[in-house]
Structure 1
Amino acid sequence: MENFKKYIVLWLSQSISQLGSSMTAFSFILWIYEQTHSALSISIISFCNYVPYILTSIFVGTFVDNHRKKLVMLVSDFVAAIVSLFALVFLMAGNLSVWHIYIINIIVGVSTAFQQPASSVAIAKIVPKDKLSNVSGMNSFSSNLVIVFSPMLAAVIFSIGGLPLILLFDLFSFAIAFFVLLFLIRIPERLTKENFKSPFAEILYGFHFLKTEKGILYIMLTMAVINFFSRLTYENILSPMILARSSENNLVLGIVNACMGVGGIMGGLLVSMRKESRKKANMIYVSAALSFLLGDLTMAVGRNVFFWSFAAFAASLPLPFIMAGENLILYKKIPENIQGRVFAVRNAVQYSTIPFGILLGGYLSDYVFEPFMRSNADIVPLLGKIVGIGTGSGMAVMFLCTGICGFAMSIFSLFCKEIQKLNDC
């Protein structure tokens, strides 16, 4: 119980740091858009973060297993803080450029690739086994709380003091988290020392374990497909679709985004308070199916802020249950001495589809679905009865497609025999 109380202190400090980092990321978007007025520049920011994160994740597993998780977390956070400090110095000197932000995002992506598996393994060493589900809910709650409030806080502070004030807040939040982790948190662990002949050896080692645990491998692969479908729309298409179908009403977009964050918060609270599920694999895919069914499909057929808000809430409410179910299975099935490399492989596999979904979603919207809804007179009336017509209807068709495909993929995965074996682990 004492360790769980210490974890709460760590969780609070890390949540504050996460808030600072999220505000900085949002402010970078505002600053770059002020400089370029280019949507492509904004997309490149996400791309520069995700791709280095995924590529680095492939190789960091053994490093994390062979080194103290606390030290890895401290160094990773310190590197992220240093690049924020450099951004502040360059900005105050009047030398900050857009390409500097891209490089910063690349460095942050690499440092996050080390920090996340180290943090995931550290949680299992600090928190009692019967509290892991609650911790997953707490993390979902704080992450979604950050999603709701960081854009609003960043916008207010940005309007008052610009990007320099945001960066100062980020550095302050880092200092709090760094102090708590360095002086107040002890992570008990036994280090393994394994030497590999090449960086690819650890990848093979992680996949060799997954060959013996096919259910876990299938979860990673199916979640990669599910992530791809979700990023086709929500990452790129949601905002322009809502703006296009609401006469560019920023208030409507703000309400919809807020409802999405509130859904995640409610889901996180429910997971943190409920008992551990006996059917963990079922929880993952039933939650994913409900997210696509009630979220994407309702978003596609909705014509006003009430439908869109419900869809946003319904899409995000099940997500903490997905995370909790998967994390519980991984913690219970993976030996402690190799958790770092398996979590790293998990991150690389599951998130590898996200950059492609982000880029493909924007392309399909601009060059395929929107032109299709404007030019195909024979088919459009039929689709128009479902999703409506006019600007944004092509993006609504994309939500219709991802809703159907994501739901089908979730149900297909639910009945996989190897995945079903993990229900009672």
Structure 2
Amino acid sequence: MKNKPYKNFIVFWASQTVSQLGSSMTGFALIIWAYKQTNSAMTVSLLTFFSYVPYVLVSLFAGSFVDRHKKKSIMLWSDSISFLCSLSIVILLITGKLEIVHIYMVNIITGFMNSFQSPASSVVIGTIVPEDKLSNASGMNSLSSSMLAVVTPMFASFISSFWGLEGVIIIDMLTFWFAFSVLLFYIKIPETTEDISGSIWDIFKGCKEGISFLLQNKGLWYLIISMAFMNFFSRLTYENILPAMLLARSGGNETILGTVSGLLGVGGIAGGLYVSFFKIPKSPVKMIYFSAAFSFIAGDLLMGLGSNIWIWCIAGIAASVPIPFISAGQNVIIYQSLSKDMQGRVFAVRNAVQYASIPMGILIGGFLADYVFEPFMQTRHPLALLLQGIVGSGSGSGMSVMFLCTGILGFITSVLWYRNPELKKLK
């Protein structure tokens, strides 16, 4: 009986991974479709931007709602509305009426629903996973994310070659029904909800309580702020303009994009496997910031310096292997610092603060790529000529320089955060 809750988590994890595979394939296919429509890095950036803005804004108030209601019901409703969004996209596509603005609108809706689904899922994991298995569960989540990064480009390309973008989205909807059925009929979640009587203002009260808790626990607060910095730098480049840069520097070669994206996942799988099945270091704080520093200096810097698929693949592995260690370290610290009745509020505030930098990074990254770095690298300015000698010239070279910048800045900030005395107190 001791391992039953963890087996419950494994079934939950597996079904959600299948569903995420479908969503990831749709996201990958839509990025390719949008970039080919416009040839603009900004267009690709806006796809993610419109997902994160409602997510960040609503997350501040979603935590109290999650604590006061059944987490299973929240996840089922959130996923159902996201399914209807996918259905609308495929209908517009089949009828020949799909435009980029429609994808933006759908991303706004799904971002809104994710602001409830994400903290609910985090609380569920904290409820059904034994405390001594939390780092392993975090490793499995990182493992699934990395596996998706490997297989998503291959599966999306394979399916679209036979059935087009419509086929990819239909597969996405089928994976939704599988995960929905498993969650509805199989997964048992011990629900801990508060008294739901009260006014709408209690939602704002819950937000205030989550913020107050974090402000009183400075180590946790600084941990979340530091993650926001990392998210900002990663969204300037890696998780934003990387597809545009690779397509630009490879002459639109989708095979190179898919290969590098897959190798990003391979690195994450390696790190996720280690975190899932082996004990992590006793100092999660050191693990977090040393891993982040290595990811930035080895991954971003090498990606910017690279000019062929071999270097880009090595850079992708170097950048992605440390990510599961960062996630595991953070999750262990947060779960062990929170009581279950506060998790929804704190996770929601964590999501809002930690991910608030993501839409900013996405928007700024797309703007800098299209209107600053790319045009600048086509000039004869002495600095541009110097940088051309380092990263090369032509389309995509400006985005390469952006990778150099995030590699250096990310490394420096990671080292500085590790030296913070409040963070060193966390265990």
- Is the TM-score greater than 0.5? yes
- Compare 18-27 and 248-257 and name the one that shifted more: 248-257
- Compare 193-202 and 154-163 and name the one that shifted more: 193-202
Take 2:388 and 2:96, find their aligned partners in 1: how far apart are those partners? 51
For residues 194-222 of structure 1, what are the alpha-carbon distances to aligned partners after superposition, in whole Å with 9 as ceiling and x for unaligned?
Answer: 74636433222111001111111101111
Aligned pair in 2 of structure 1 residues 419, 2: CA closer, same or farther (>3 Å)?
same
For residues 284-335 of structure 1, what are the alpha-carbon distances to aligned partners after superposition, in whole Å with 9 as ceiling and x for unaligned?
Answer: 1111001001111112223332222111110011011111111111100011
Take 1:228 and 1:84, find their aligned partners in 2: how far apart are those partners? 28
Q: How many residues align?
A: 423
Identify the residue that residue 411 of structure 1 maps to in structure 2.
415
Aligned pair in 2 of structure 1 residues 88, 382: CA closer, same or farther (>3 Å)?
closer
Aligned pair in 2 of structure 1 residues 380, 132: CA closer, same or farther (>3 Å)?
same
Identify the residue that residue 107 of structure 1 maps to in structure 2.
109
Identify the residue that residue 84 of structure 1 maps to in structure 2.
86
Which of 280, 284, 302 is matched with 2:284 structurally? Answer: 280
Take 1:307 and 1:353, find their aligned partners in 2: how far apart are those partners? 29
Aligned pair in 2 of structure 1 residues 240, 78: CA closer, same or farther (>3 Å)?
closer
TM-score norm. by structure 1 comes to 0.92
Identify the residue that residue 256 of structure 1 maps to in structure 2.
260
- Compare 122-131 and 388-397 and name the one that shifted more: 388-397
Take 1:243 and 1:267, find their aligned partners in 2: how far apart are those partners? 27
For residues 328-364 of structure 1, what are the alpha-carbon distances to aligned partners after superposition, in whole Å with 9 as ceiling and x for unaligned?
Answer: 1110001110100111111111111111111211222
Identify the residue that residue 346 of structure 1 maps to in structure 2.
350
Identify the residue that residue 402 of structure 1 maps to in structure 2.
406
Take 1:76 and 1:256, find their aligned partners in 2: how far apart are those partners? 32
Identify the residue that residue 165 of structure 1 maps to in structure 2.
167
Aligned pair in 2 of structure 1 residues 30, 368: CA closer, same or farther (>3 Å)?
closer
Q: How does 1:181-200 map to 2 (within 5 A)?
A: 181-193=183-195, 195=198, 197=201, 199-200=203-204
Which of 218, 221, 227 is matched with 1:217 structurally? Answer: 221
Take 1:306 and 1:402, find their aligned partners in 2: how far apart are those partners? 21
Q: How does 1:237-386 map to 2 (within 5 A)?
A: 237-375=241-379, 377-386=381-390
Take 2:393 and 2:36, find their aligned partners in 1: how far apart are those partners? 32
Aligned pair in 2 of structure 1 residues 308, 135: CA closer, same or farther (>3 Å)?
same
Take 1:310 and 1:154, find their aligned partners in 2: how far apart are those partners? 23
Checking the alignment, whether the CA contact within 8 Å between 2:42 and 2:366 is kept in structure 1 is: no
Identify the residue that residue 49 of structure 2 maps to in structure 1.
47
Take 1:330 and 1:51, find their aligned partners in 2: how far apart are those partners? 24
- Compare 298-307 and 190-199 and name the one that shifted more: 190-199
- Compare 377-386 and 55-64 and name the one that shifted more: 377-386
Take 1:259 and 1:199, find their aligned partners in 2: how far apart are those partners? 42
Identify the residue that residue 74 of structure 2 maps to in structure 1.
72
Aligned pair in 2 of structure 1 residues 252, 104: CA closer, same or farther (>3 Å)?
closer
Aligned pair in 2 of structure 1 residues 165, 380: CA closer, same or farther (>3 Å)?
closer
- Which residue identity is paired with 1:131? K
4+ long deviations beyond 6 Å: none
Is 1:23 matched with 2:22? Answer: no
Take 2:177 and 2:397, find their aligned partners in 1: how far apart are those partners? 47
Take 2:104 and 2:111, find their aligned partners in 1: how far apart are those partners? 11
- Which residue identity is paired with 2:356? S
Aligned pair in 2 of structure 1 residues 115, 371: CA closer, same or farther (>3 Å)?
same
Checking the alignment, whether the CA contact within 8 Å between 2:42 and 2:370 is kept in structure 1 is: no
When the two chains are superposed, the root-mean-square deviation of aligned CA atoms in Å is 2.2
Take 2:371 and 2:30, find their aligned partners in 1: how far apart are those partners? 28
Which of 205, 208, 219 is matched with 2:209 structurally? Answer: 205
Take 2:319 and 2:280, find their aligned partners in 1: how far apart are those partners? 22
Take 1:173 and 1:287, find their aligned partners in 2: how far apart are those partners? 33
Give unmatched runs, 5+ long, in structure 2. Answer: none
Question: How far did 1:394 drift?
Answer: 2.7
Take 2:288 and 2:365, find their aligned partners in 1: how far apart are those partners? 25
Aligned pair in 2 of structure 1 residues 45, 389: CA closer, same or farther (>3 Å)?
closer
Give unmatched runs, 5+ long, in structure 1. Answer: none
